[in-house]
Amino acid sequence: MAEKRPITVATGDGIGPEIMEATMHILEQAGAEIEPEYIDVGEKVYLTGNSTGIPQEAWDSLRRTKVFLKAPITTPQGGGYKSLNVTIRTAMGLYANVRPCVSYSPVIENKHPDMDLVIVRENEEDLYAGIEHQQTPDVVQSLKLISRPGSERIVRYAFEYARQNNRKKVTCLVKDNIMKLSDGLFHQVFKEIAAEYPDIESSHYIVDIGMARIADTPEEFDVIVTPNLYGDIASDIAAQIAGSVGLAGSANIGDEIAMFEAIHGSAPDIAGKEIANPSGLLHGAIMMLVHIGQPEAAEKIHNAWLKTIEDGVLTGDMARGKAAVGTKEFAAAVVERLGQSPSTLEPVSYNKKTIQKEKDFDRPKHEVERELDGTDVFLFNNTLTVDEIGEKLERAAGESFEFVMMTNRGVKVYPNGFSETFLSDHWRCRFQKAEGKQVEQSEIRELLSRIEDEELDWIKIENLYRFNGKIAYSLAQGQ
């Protein structure tokens, strides 16, 4: 008998313990060679004062086993707690979120029987970095971070996934018609890497029309790669269209550690009723078995699950008004069908070639010349008029800078603004180097001192740069 593979298991919150019990029962009966280490994470840990929701002993287990099967976790809303999922993904370098969304028609009713797509979502960056500030009484900011190395490895992962799984096309979803720098970088990297995979078709959609097409014609997609926030939304849309969010599993892949889960939440409203569908977590566990080199067990469980739903054994979310079974009854039905295959639905087949581990790629060094062009100074003001602020900033500019413009919520209001523009108490004030001048950061510090002398309250600055002579900051209307 092969040595059992240690894995870390968290039973989670809400319906988590129920669906994890069902999932582990199926894994055991299918002969999965695993040795679970159970840890406590989530709501109970948050309430002890641990803001991460995961104690040190849990981190130790995860770093030791390098495989994490996790039931849904409740993240407190509106407080200071950061999502446990986000914390684990970023701390452990789980950069690739992989979510297959497959139609099970005609067993589970949907309008797209040929739907079979995989969403590969960047997992560490974007707005999910969780860097937020309240800067004035009226305005908060959330920083959207997109990096070249982060974009390179998720895009390359998507193309490698397509190649290893005989997928034919990879589609990029971004909003670079608006966010020209951040989403523009992701799209540019996509085009560069797509050129290295001539055997795989590549395409691109602006994210809003792309999601509309997922909702309308999902069968035209194969593999989708997209930044973090868009991927989160798109995968839930796709899973629901395929039949139910409750059916979809998810893999979070890093260079050393991987986490597997359902994509749905902890559903505290139905916790303890034994009616929850364990299928999403079970599909996460199937992906885990493939990842750890146990494709035979994965195939056995997946085909038994397909046979179960084909035979009409369905939980409430799948039954949609028809006769339904509870969590334990559904798990028992899957166990009863281990070794069987579906006849109407397509049986699955796994082999070790489908294990997703990224190759070691050498990231190229980019030679970049950076030139300081000026700075954006952000102010808090709720007393002075636009013209009064503008006059003070004109005086503060000095000889090294030209005061170019002032915006409010991204709209130019000085000079030559419109009285109809709605204003908040948060102002972006752009200073660019005067003609013929070279500016250093010391001169920006002097500029801030002059702004303070004008009794203006500056909040923060964002320096303006050119990279290899190209403007690397957003322009406002009129520039």
Q: For 63-79, what is each residue's pLDDT tens digit?
A: 999 999 999 988 766 55
At residue 3, φ and ψ (nearest 5 deg) are -65, 135
- Residue 274 CB-density burial (10 A; 0-12 exposed, 13-18 middle, 19+ buried): middle
**pLDDT tens digits, one per residue of 196-248:** 999 999 999 999 999 999 999 999 999 999 999 999 999 989 988 988 788 88
pTM (predicted TM-score): 0.88
In angstroms, how far is the first alpha carbon of the chain from the final one?
Answer: 71
pLDDT at 354: 45
At residue 5, φ and ψ (nearest 5 deg) are -90, 120
pLDDT band at 420 (very low <50, low <70, confident <90, very high): very high
| Whether 476 contacts 407, CB under 8 Å | yes
pLDDT at 86: 82
Structure tokens at 132: 């937020």
**pLDDT tens digits, one per residue of 320-369:** 778 899 999 999 999 999 999 999 999 999 866 544 444 555 666 667 89
pLDDT at 43 > cutoff 50: yes
State mean pLDDT over 250-272. Answer: 93
pLDDT at 278: 96
Residue identified by tokens 């102010």 is: 379
